[in-house]
Amino acid sequence: MPRPEGYRKARRLVELGERYNLPVLSFIDTPGAYPGIDAEERGINEAIAVNMAMMSRVKTPLIATVTGEANSGGAIAIGVSDQLNMLQYSTYTVITPEGCATILWKSSEYASAAAEAMGVTSTRLEELGIVDQTIAEPLGGAHRDVAATAENIKTALLEQMDRLSATDTETLIERRYKRLMSYGLSA
């Protein structure tokens, strides 16, 4: 789980991408930001907020790819992007299905119902306009054929980098900001 320092390091790397006019690729696999009191004392909320604000206006293409789970603001803090991809079997949500079920139904036994209601899959999130592209995985998941999955990711990223690099910077920033502000709106 990322801590404040991890988000600050990510921010510095995005700023380097901007300085050298390089696209920035983020790979996301996190259950969310570290929830400990020490993280609160070191400014986890500030680190997440600053990342989101900075990434919404950085002058270089940003591409994020969810490779496992992407939960909470901890995922958004490194996932603000011009292009959001998800591997076919990955998930992206504001809270884990178990956490949601515990809050709503007082039992994590309802996690599958919560996951269905939240629409955590790449297919559903693509329908809602949150995810731009689902990247195919082998039957059973990426670990079944790592080389094929890597090739699928590479193919998608190269096409996206070409397209985004040809797009006017101000257009990228405007679209990215609108996208970020649309999170949570009803489809």
Eight-class DSSP state of 136? P
Query: Residue 34: what pLDDT?
Result: 87
In a domain, 85, yes or no: yes
In a domain, 35, yes or no: yes
- Written as six digits, the tokens of 19 are 């300085």
In a domain, 141, yes or no: yes
- pLDDT band, very low/low/confident/very high, at 96 (cuts 50, 70, 90): confident
Range of the domain at 138: 4-182
Query: Residue 187: what pLDDT?
Result: 54
For residue range 129-164, list pLDDT tens digits in order: 899 999 999 999 999 999 999 999 999 999 999 999
Rounded distance between C-alpha atoms, residue 36 and residue 47, angstroms: 14
In a domain, 66, yes or no: yes
How many secondary structure helices (H) and strands (E) does the chain include? 9, 5
For residue range 111-129, list pLDDT tens digits in order: 999 999 999 999 999 998 8
In a domain, 142, yes or no: yes
In a domain, 187, yes or no: no
For residues 34 and 2, the answer to whether their CB atoms sit within 8 Å is yes
| Side-chain half-sphere CA neighbours of 62 within 13 A | 35
In a domain, 14, yes or no: yes
What CATH number does residue 81 fall under? 3.90.226.10
For residue range 10-61, list pLDDT tens digits in order: 999 999 999 999 999 999 999 889 889 999 999 999 999 999 999 999 999 9
For residues 156 and 163, the answer to whether their CB atoms sit within 8 Å is no
- The count of domains in the chain is 1
